[in-house]
Amino acid sequence: MFASVGAAAVGLVLAWIWYAQGEGRVPAMIAARFPRFYRLLENKYFVDEFYEAVFVEGLAKRGGRFLWEVDATVVDLIPNGTAAVTRGASWATNVFDKNVVDGAVNGVADGFQSGWRLARRAQTGRVQNYALVMGAGLFGLVAVYLIFR
């Protein structure tokens, strides 16, 4: 604590001597002799600029922007990816439902239609065919019965 208070006191005294009493001749001399050193001191060791460049611009903003990118794309993949997968699965499920599940239902109907077309062909309109069908049917009936009796 004493060092810092002492440094502050020295600085106070020096400032009073140099600027208040001496019109700044010594600082000007230092500025002329050691210009870079003087600039360093004048710009407060460029701490602000350093901060600005490294932390604010570099880490925070660019880093932030980078992480934002990562977040928006990669991490957000969790919901977005799920959504995409879900949408894809939903679309596939919909196709399955329309074609396979409902297709089975309509397929039953189509099956009946094919059966109908088959049944139609039995009606040829000719009496001879009809008599043949009847006779064959009768023969078949009796034959099957006698065989499996």
Partner 1 sequence: MKLSASDWLLLSPELFLTAAGLFLLSISVFFGKAKEEFLAFLTILFTAVTIGIVVFISGYHGHEKPILGGMFVVDNFAIFFKVLMLVSIILTTLASVRFVGNAPYPGGEYYALLLFTGVGMLFMVSGNNLISIYVALELMALSSYILAGYFKGEIKSTEAALKYFVLGAFSSGVLLYGLSLVYGIAGRMGLPELAKLFAGVEKSNVLLVGILLILAGLLFKVAAVPFHVWVPDVYEGAPTPVTAFFSVGPKLAAYAILARIFYVAFPKFHADWGLIVAVVAAATMVVGNVAALLQANVKRMLAYSSIAHAGYALLGVIGFRTEFGLWGILVYLLAYTFMNFGAFALVVLLETKGYAAESVSDFNGLARRNMTAAVVMLVFLLSLAGIPPTAGFIGKYYLFTAAMKAGYAWLAVLAVLMSAVSLFYYFRIAAAMFFLEGDGTPLKSSYTLTTAVLICAVATVLVGIAPQPVVEALRACVIQTP
Partner 2 sequence: MQLMGLWIPILSIVTYVPLAGALAIVFFLPKERTGAIRTLATATVIAGFLASLPLWFLFERGHAGYQFVELAPWIPSLGVDYHFGIDGISLVLILLTTLMGIIAVVCSYTAITERQKEYYVLLLLLQTFMLGTFCSLDLFLFYVFWEVMLVPMYFLIGVWGSDRRLYAAIKFFLYTLAGSVLMLLGIIALYFYNTTGFLGYKGLGNAPTFSIEKLTVVAQGLPVDLQIWLFFAFFLGFAIKVPMFPFHTWLPDAHTEAPTAGSVILAAVLLKMGTYGFVRFSLPMFPDAITTPWVLTLMVTLAIVGIVYGAMVTLVQKDMKRLIAYSSVSHLGFVMLGVFALNMSGIQGGMLQMVNHGISTGGLFLLVGMIYERRHTRLISEYGGIARQMPVYATYFLILVLSSMGLPLLNGFIGEFAILQGAFARSFWWAFFAATGIVLGAAYLLWLYQRVFFGEITNPANANLPDLTPREQLTLVPLVLLALWIGLYPKPMFDVLRVPSEKIVEAVGGRTATEPQLARERPSAPVEASGLAEGTPRP
- Residues binding partner 2 (CB under 8 A): 83, 86-87, 89-91, 93-94, 97, 101-102, 104-105
89 interacts with partner 1 by CB under 8 A: no
Which lies closer to partner 2 via its Cβ, residue 57 or residue 76? 76
DSSP 8-state class, residue 1:
-
> Applying CB under 8 A, which of residues 2, 104, 116, 147 lies at the interface with partner 1?
116
Q: Which does 47 bind (CB under 5 to 8 A by kind): partner 2, partner 1, none?
A: none
Residues 6+ positions from 26 with CB-CB distance below 8 Å: 18
> Please, where are the H alpha helices in the chain?
2-15, 25-33, 35-42, 47-50, 64-70, 77-95, 102-122, 127-148
CA angle 10/11/15 to nearest 5° reads: 120
Tell me which stretch binds partner 1 (CB under 8 A): 36-44, 59-67, 79-87, 136-144.
136-144
> Applying CB under 8 A, which of residues 4, 36, 145, 147 lies at the interface with partner 1?
145
d(CA 62, CA 68): 9
Binding site for partner 1 (CB under 8 A): 112-113, 115-116, 119-120, 122-123, 125, 127, 129-131, 133-138, 140-142, 145-146, 149
